[in-house]
Chain A
Amino acid sequence: MIAALLRRDLAQFFPFTGSGAALPVVFFVAVAMLFPFAVGPDANLMLKTGGGVVWIAALLAAILPLERLVARDIELGFFDQLKLRGLAEEAMMAVRLIAHWLSFGPPLLLATFPAAALLKIEGETLEILLLGLLAGTPGLAAIGLMIAALTASLRAGAALSGLLLIPLALPILIFGAGALARMDRISLGFVAAISLALVAIAPFAAGAAIRAAREN
């Protein structure tokens, strides 16, 4: 049942195949493209700030898929039908987390190459940026899932989820972008640790949230 559910979730959320489309990734590259236009093509400035811009773009791109991540399937009665078949909400949310990250993390990492080229990021900086995003995006996905599940039954949920994600994502952003400023890999370890903790908590928090959403 888990495998069938993962296939279905991936088909729903994967860019290009699913109805979710590639919007977050396109948005991500678009931000990277706009930045040089806004601040001018100073190579030194770009090298210093470009990595931070990519991180902010990644953070904003993480907000985009949240609206349809959980709320739609609650309205469909999809989770209820799975529940009747004996699947725990935690398992549904763990599968959803994997599908969400797969449809958003790897495409974002790939899109980092063109984005980095636009911002003239290369060499070791690019390497640390990619490693940081690899370590940080699962955490962003986990925060996103928890927020999407918590706000699913609220009318203004979509607008609220963007606001909620930003403060919660701050630790990832600080260590991830901080690693670029100091070119140190120890910060990346912190990013990975934060991500790991978030990924471990998210299925339980999101599962409890969709259970609670049924009661009203």
Chain B
Amino acid sequence: MQAPPPFLAADNLACRRGERLLFKRLSFRLEAGAACHVTGANGAGKTTLIRALAGLTTPYAGEVRREGGLALLEERSGLDPDLPLGKALAFWFGLDGAQEPDGIMAALRLTDLAEVPVRYLSTGQKKRAALARMVSQRAPVWLLDEPLSGLDTASQGLVSALVQDHCAGGGIALIASHQPLDLPAMTSFAIEDHAPAEEEA
């Protein structure tokens, strides 16, 4: 039996941070193969949206629906800072039953860093490590929060290529970033367009 095709949908979503309403009446539906770019200034609510979509926080109103496993890339890598990178990643590779973890590490130029404790890695290197964790998870739905921040130009190209591959293989990617992104057939929306009117906020 084949797994049902993945999708990610938000219905009339509204989220708060503290007492402030960040956005409301946000609805979209992403089908298999879709990539969506969420833009917005710092503090507009991109991270809040991602965490609500991931099911980590309960939205103030509305509903998130999803079919298929979920992978999340965010500022926090989930990698033990005291462990060498190879071991820290091996934990997640083992958990996710990753195939060819060495290939994934090589593709993200991490092989030479395997012995380096995670806390000594630079921001960009940590981000690449988190990407390796995410790719190996082989989840159909990807949520990426600022995947380009801290990365050099070459690595930014790598992220675009990874997302493109993922969507070409029938995956879904929702990318929250204030930086411009160039992907074929990508939709985008600005979170500010859903900001509540001044008197409601």
Contact = CB atoms under 8 A, between A and B. Distances in A.
Interface of A: 1, 4-5, 8, 12, 19, 75-78, 80-81, 83-85, 214-216
B56 A214 contact: yes
B145 to A, nearest CB: 10
Interface residues of B, number: 25
A77 B78 contact: yes
Max chain B Cβ within 10 angstroms of own Cβ: one of A5, A84, A215: A84
B95 interface: yes
A62 B72 CA distance: 35
7 contacts: A4-B91, A80-B74, A80-B76, A81-B92, A83-B55, A85-B95, A214-B57
A12 B78 contact: no
Nearest to A8: B91
Contact of B95 (A4, A12, A19): A4
Nearest to B58: A215
B71 interface: yes
Interface string B6-41: 000000000000100000000000000000000000
A78 B130 CA distance: 12
A1 B79 CA distance: 16
B141 to A, nearest CB: 10
B77 A84 contact: no
Pick the 6 closest A-B CB pairs, nearest first: A77-B76, A81-B78, A19-B82, A77-B78, A78-B78, A84-B70
Nearest to A80: B56
B94 A80 contact: no
A85 to B, nearest CB: 7
B57 A77 contact: no
A76 B56 contact: no
Given A1-B95, A4-B94, A84-B54, A76 B80 contact: yes
A214 B56 CA distance: 7
B94 A76 contact: no
Contacts of A19: 82
B58 A75 contact: no
A80 B78 contact: yes
Contacts of A81: 72, 78, 92, 133
A19 B51 CA distance: 30
B72 A80 contact: yes
Contacts of B94: 4
Most buried by B among A1, A4, A81, A85: A81
B96 interface: yes
Nearest to B81: A76
Contacts of A5: 95
Contacts of B74: 77, 80
A135 B6 CA distance: 50
Nearest to B17: A216
Contacts of A83: 55-56
Nearest to A81: B78
A12 B80 contact: yes
Nearest to A20: B82
A64 B75 CA distance: 29
Contacts of B133: 81
